[in-house]
């Protein structure tokens, strides 16, 4: 299958063209301030260099930091209406109570607390107050808000309150973009509500981003279907991704991890992705990133939903080193490295300058760092290596040595020998592993739900059926779908042989080839 993979990072925008498992071309260019022009430039380079090969594309896969950046920057977010169906429980804690004040102010929430929801054993807490939902919907309409997040107590167990509330809101406000918490998060009320409201605040940005990417592709003559990468190392049709932008959080590092698995042929092991601004350390399990089983903060907001288990570090090729104190990072020159680093004629000491001075890599003009004291260079290198070793140790789940696959444009910062590492694996095309991971990604479907009144086998089969339908909706070929993993946990305090079942399936894309428009 012939695809283009693109990954937009904080420092570089990478693009690759692959045919099945063969890399036909790769481009790395600085990320531009407006992002889209950098994407266009990368694709133009591929089209110009591989004019014949770029025809008959199956798909374009894009990884973007748009949505994470919006949360971190407190920008481009919609005003949100939050409806929590849990009264009289949880009355003392309003929606977004634990959000940073500046982020809460950015979304300026209209919050409603409504009677309803369920107990932990599936019994109704109190009847749903439909009149209160109707009144809330009218207030939301009058306020001009279209982004709505609905969260009900124990909705992953039974979603009827959320579904009924959504029908009422839609009847009053047909144009509302509604996010239901049971489709995203897990049991914890506040964390599930948080990710629901983050998703609601990002949906219009999701649509704008997808439209902008579509225009960027069209401007270089590409009409192929395109997908956005997700935080589990898979992709989803762009239109589907626009409705659930939170699933693209942390998609950059997971692209790199999938690329590392592809390039190394390893399904198990640690991956260090060294970019221009940060490094991310993760672990491969069956060729996919290990999933986090605890709370993950996004922009200072506690969430509990599908996220990769990653350790980010403020260490990259553009990381600034203070010449006076010797402190390494966390600030970086980012995409301005070609202007500010010493080897490019700038005045800022970066980790790349240290690597060039030590003879680890040939970048820029090495004569510009000849004046650096050899002892100082060695000291800074030791500090960089100590940061990496500490990160590896923190990500281990056992005391033994583990293999490490190194990718990313700043991979030269990782030495060939590390404490606690059995081998350091270097791969071809390591600098564009993120784009490769995007290009060869499959489409996934996942479910994390509580089932009751079913046998264990029937519950797992039901979960797999739901996951399969979601994969097909996301753009997978039904005939190609296979089960990646499934697990079930009996819940003793619930009646009816209740159990929580998590299942994930993957499949190849089902879209027809589309030619490049001349």
**Rounded-to-integer distance, Cα 497 and Cα 312, Å:** 40
Where does residue 508 rank: exposed (0-12), middle (13-18), buried (19+ CB within 10 A)?
Answer: middle
Whole-number pLDDT of residue 512: 53
Give the bridge partners for 60, in sequence order. Answer: 4, 226
Q: Which two tokens stand for residue 365?
A: 């003009």
Contact 233, 255 (CB under 8 A): yes
**Rounded-to-integer distance, Cα 287 and Cα 285, Å:** 5
The number of C-alpha atoms within 13 Å of 103 and in the hemisphere containing its C-beta is 22
Cα angle at 36 between 319 and 332, to 5 degrees?
A: 10
**Rounded-to-integer distance, Cα 382 and Cα 378, Å:** 6
* End-to-end Cα, the chain, rounded Å: 21
Q: What is the DSSP letter of 333?
A: -
> Could you give phi then psi for residue 44, rounded to 5 degrees?
-60, -40
Long-range contacts, stretch 118-123, CB < 8 angstroms, 24+ apart: 118/152, 118/153, 118/154, 118/155, 118/157, 118/158, 118/161, 119/153, 119/154, 120/154, 120/157, 120/493, 120/494, 121/493, 121/494, 121/495, 122/154, 122/157, 122/158, 122/452, 122/494, 122/495, 122/496, 122/498
Whole-number pLDDT of residue 423: 95
Query: Which pTM value belongs to this model?
Result: 0.82
Q: Look-up: residue for tokens 């167990």?
A: 157
Whole-number pLDDT of residue 518: 43
**Rounded-to-integer distance, Cα 36 and Cα 434, Å:** 18
Closest CA to 435 of 288, 241, 258: 258
**Rounded-to-integer distance, Cα 92 and Cα 109, Å:** 17
Whole-number pLDDT of residue 417: 92
Whole-number pLDDT of residue 54: 64
pLDDT in tens, the chain (518 residues): 788 999 887 667 888 998 877 888 888 877 776 777 778 888 888 878 776 766 677 889 998 877 887 888 888 999 999 999 999 988 889 999 999 999 999 999 999 999 999 987 778 999 999 999 999 999 999 999 999 999 999 898 889 999 999 999 999 999 999 999 998 878 789 999 999 999 999 999 999 989 988 888 888 888 788 889 988 888 888 888 899 999 888 888 888 999 999 999 999 999 999 988 888 999 998 888 888 877 888 888 998 888 888 888 889 899 999 988 889 988 888 878 889 999 999 999 999 999 999 999 999 999 999 999 999 999 999 999 999 999 999 999 888 899 999 998 889 999 999 999 999 999 998 888 989 999 888 888 888 888 888 899 999 999 999 999 988 988 888 999 988 888 888 877 767 788 888 888 988 887 555 444 44
In the chain, how many H helices and how many E strands?
13, 23
**Rounded-to-integer distance, Cα 223 and Cα 11, Å:** 27
Whole-number pLDDT of residue 452: 81
**Rounded-to-integer distance, Cα 480 and Cα 467, Å:** 13
**Rounded-to-integer distance, Cα 67 and Cα 228, Å:** 12
Encode burial over 252-278: b for 16+ CB neighbours within 10 A, e otherwise. Answer: bbbbbbbbbbbbbebeebbbbbbbbbb
């Amino acid at each position: 299958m012939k695809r283009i993979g693109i990954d937009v990072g904080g420092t570089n925008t990478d693009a690759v063209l692959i045919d099945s498992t063969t890399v036909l071309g790769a481009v790395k260019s600085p990320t531009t301030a407006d992002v889209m022009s950098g994407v266009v430039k990368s694709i133009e380079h591929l089209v110009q260099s591989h004019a014949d090969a770029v025809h008959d594309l199956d798909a374009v896969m894009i990884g973007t930091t748009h949505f994470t950046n919006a949360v971190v920057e407190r920008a481009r977010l919609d005003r949100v209406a939050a409806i929590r169906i849990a009264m009289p429980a949880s009355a003392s804690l309003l929606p977004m109570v634990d959000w940073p004040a500046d982020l809460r102010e950015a979304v300026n929430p209209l919050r409603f607390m409504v009677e309803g929801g369920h107990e932990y054993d599936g019994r109704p807490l109190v009847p749903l107050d439909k009149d209160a939902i109707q009144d809330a919907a009218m207030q939301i309409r009058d306020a001009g808000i279209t982004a709505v997040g609905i969260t009900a107590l124990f909705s992953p167990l039974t979603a009827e309150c959320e579904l009924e509330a959504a029908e009422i809101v839609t009847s009053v406000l047909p144009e509302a973009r509604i996010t239901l918490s049971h489709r995203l998060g897990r049991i914890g009320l506040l964390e599930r509500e948080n990710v629901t409201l983050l998703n609601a605040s990002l949906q219009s940005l999701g649509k704008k981003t997808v439209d902008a990417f579509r225009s960027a592709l069209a401007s270089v003559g590409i009409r192929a279907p395109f997908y956005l990468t997700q935080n589990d190392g898979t992709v989803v049709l762009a239109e589907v991704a626009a409705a659930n932008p939170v699933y693209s959080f942390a998609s950059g590092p997971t692209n790199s991890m999938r690329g590392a698995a592809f390039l190394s042929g390893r399904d198990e092991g640690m991956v260090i992705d060294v970019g221009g601004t940060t490094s991310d350390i993760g672990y491969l399990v069956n060729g996919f990133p290990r999933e986090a089983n605890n709370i993950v903060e996004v922009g200072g907001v506690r969430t509990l939903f599908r996220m990769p288990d990653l350790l980010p570090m403020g260490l990259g090729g553009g990381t600034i080193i203070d010449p006076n104190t010797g402190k390494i990072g966390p600030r970086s020159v980012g995409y301005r490295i070609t202007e500010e680093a010493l080897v490019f004629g700038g005045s800022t000491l970066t980790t790349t300058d240290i690597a060039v001075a030590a003879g680890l890599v040939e970048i820029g003009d090495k004569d510009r760092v000849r004046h650096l004291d050899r002892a100082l260079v060695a000291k800074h290198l030791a500090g960089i290596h100590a940061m990496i070793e500490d990160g590896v140790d923190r990500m281990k789940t056992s005391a033994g040595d583990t293999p490490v696959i190194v990718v990313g444009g700043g991979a030269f910062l990782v030495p060939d020998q590390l404490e606690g590492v059995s081998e350091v694996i270097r791969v071809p095309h390591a600098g564009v592993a993120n784009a490769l991971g995007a290009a060869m990604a499959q489409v996934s479907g996942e479910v994390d739900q509580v089932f009751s009144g079913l046998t264990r086998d029937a519950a797992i089969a039901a979960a797999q059926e739901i996951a399969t339908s979601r994969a097909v909706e996301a753009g997978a070929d039904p005939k190609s779908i296979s089960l990646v993993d499934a697990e079930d946990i009996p819940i003793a305090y619930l009646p009816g042989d209740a159990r929580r079942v998590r299942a994930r399936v993957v499949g190849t894309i089902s879209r027809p080839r589309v030619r490049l428009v001349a």
